[in-house]
């Protein structure tokens, strides 16, 4: 109630003009003001419909979002995790479930407290407006009918007066005529005057009836304007209240969600990377002994073993996989990626001792250093 009073006070802080003072027209049978008000009422109805549909769709979105979050929360997440991260992932699943429930609750509140209320309010306004519109249309039709009747009576009255003037003129023009002719003209003028008197009475009566119809229309239309303004005010207040409630519901939903995320953040504060790594090592370790070095064994001479560290080759021609030891020249610069590889500069000359595969050669550099180098970086020199 305090909230509604606050809204009413805010809305009445600006002076409200009146429909009843601003929707008339000087043309007697004009319905421009009435048409403008009925159009506004239809627009207000459509606005209510659009607003209701908007909140309804938002409710459906929250419902779908909530259900999908709850389904997500039931998925396997922390099956193979260890330590503090395992705990955090469990909390994440739990809070995701609660966020999904919060979204479903938000959806239910939007639908039950706002959508249903707006639909009921819209139907109520429609019934009241329809009843007033029909009554006002009857009053307008009645005024128009009396106006048309008055126009007919006025026309008849004016024609009768014209006939009197015409008869009087003929009598004046024929004063020298025989008595019989004068009697005929006098009788004609008398009948014209009687007809004019009757037409005058009907005309006066039609004007009187029209005025009564106009006063009734004016009174009814003034009441109609007031009622339409009341309905418009009620609609705007109701829409404002419902949109305020909509904002509060959605805002509270977000606050609840943030509280859930805060639980995840607190859990992350206690998540220790070192603890989890150490726990994994303690539970899953396979040993501390490393595999030993594998020696190079020459295919043709098993006695020639080339370890990974730098070793000078003999100057003698030992049998090898490459006949007469091919000589190659470096086409590009190459930086060794390990101790077993050779650095190359463009133009360096090397001796290929063995082609390990299509990608790597093993050979001796001009400085007698042996190692591996990429085959695509060198070109074989002619013998």
| Tens of pLDDT, residues 236-273 | 999 999 999 999 999 999 999 999 999 999 999 988 99
Q: Could you tell me whether strands 360-365 and 378-380 are parallel, antiparallel, or unpaired per DSSP bridges? A: unpaired
Distances (CA, A) of 309 to 212, 294, 342: 122, 12, 12
The token duo for 240 is 């404002």
β-sheet with 378-380: strand ranges across: 370-374, 360-365, 349-355, 327-330, 378-380
Handedness of CA 94, 99, 104, 106 (dihedral sign): positive
Cα separation, 25 vs 22, in Å, equals 9
Of residues 23, 105, 99, 39, the one with CA closest to residue 263: 99
**pLDDT value, residue 318:** 39
- Does residue 201 have a pLDDT over 70? yes
DSSP symbol at 341:
B
The token duo for 140 is 């307008």
Would you say 321 and 341 are in contact if contact means Cβ atoms under 8 Å apart? no
Mean pLDDT of 336-365: 90
DSSP symbol at 189:
H
Determine if the pTM surpasses 0.85. no
- The mean-pLDDT minimum among 42-56, 251-265, 298-312 falls in 298-312
Distances (CA, A) of 232 to 38, 76, 128, 226, 228: 11, 55, 12, 10, 6
**Other CB atoms within 10 A of residue 364 CB:** 19
Cα separation, 81 vs 91, in Å, equals 13
Burial 239-274 (b: 16+ CB within 10 A, else e): beebeebbeebbeebeebbeebeeebeebeeeeeee
**pLDDT value, residue 160:** 92
Cα separation, 237 vs 45, in Å, equals 14
CA gyration radius for the chain? Answer: 53
**pLDDT value, residue 8:** 59
């Amino acid at each position: 109630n305090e909230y509604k009073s606050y809204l009413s006070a805010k809305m009445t802080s600006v002076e409200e003009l009146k429909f009843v003072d601003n929707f008339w027209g000087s043309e007697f049978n004009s319905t421009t003001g009435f048409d403008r008000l009925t159009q506004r009422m239809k627009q207000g109805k459509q606005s209510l419909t659009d607003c209701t549909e908007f909140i309804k769709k938002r409710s459906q979105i929250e419902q779908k979002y909530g259900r999908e979050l709850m389904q997500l929360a039931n998925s396997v997440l922390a099956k193979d995790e260890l330590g503090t991260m395992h705990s955090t992932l469990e909390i994440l699943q739990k809070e995701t479930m609660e966020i999904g429930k919060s979204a479903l609750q938000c959806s239910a509140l939007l639908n039950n407290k706002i959508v249903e209320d707006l639909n009921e309010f819209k139907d109520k306004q429609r019934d009241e407006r329809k009843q007033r519109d029909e009554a006002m249309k009857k009053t307008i039709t009645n005024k128009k009918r009396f106006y048309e009747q008055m126009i007919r009576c006025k026309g008849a009255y004016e024609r009768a007066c014209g006939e009197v003037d015409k008869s009087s003129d003929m009598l004046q023009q024929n004063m020298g005529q025989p008595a019989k002719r004068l009697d005929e003209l006098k009788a004609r003028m008398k009948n014209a005057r009687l007809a004019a008197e009757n037409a005058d009475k009907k005309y006066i009566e039609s004007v009187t009836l029209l005025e009564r119809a106009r006063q009734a229309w004016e009174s009814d239309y003034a009441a109609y304007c007031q009622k339409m303004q009341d309905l418009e005010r009620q609609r705007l207040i109701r829409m404002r209240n419902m949109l305020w409630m909509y904002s509060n519901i959605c805002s509270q939903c977000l606050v609840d969600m943030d509280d859930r995320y805060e639980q995840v953040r607190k859990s992350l504060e206690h998540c220790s990377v070192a603890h989890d790594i150490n726990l994994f090592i303690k539970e899953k370790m396979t040993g501390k002994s490393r595999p030993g070095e594998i020696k190079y064994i020459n295919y043709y001479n098993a006695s020639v073993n080339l370890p990974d560290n730098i070793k000078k080759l003999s100057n003698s021609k030992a049998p090898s996989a490459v006949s007469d030891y091919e000589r190659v020249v470096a086409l590009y610069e190459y930086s060794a990626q390990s101790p077993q590889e050779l650095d190359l500069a463009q133009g360096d000359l090397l001796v290929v001792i063995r082609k390990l595969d299509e990608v790597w050669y093993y050979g001796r550099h001009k400085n007698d250093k042996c190692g591996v180098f990429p085959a695509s970086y060198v070109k074989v020199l002619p013998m």
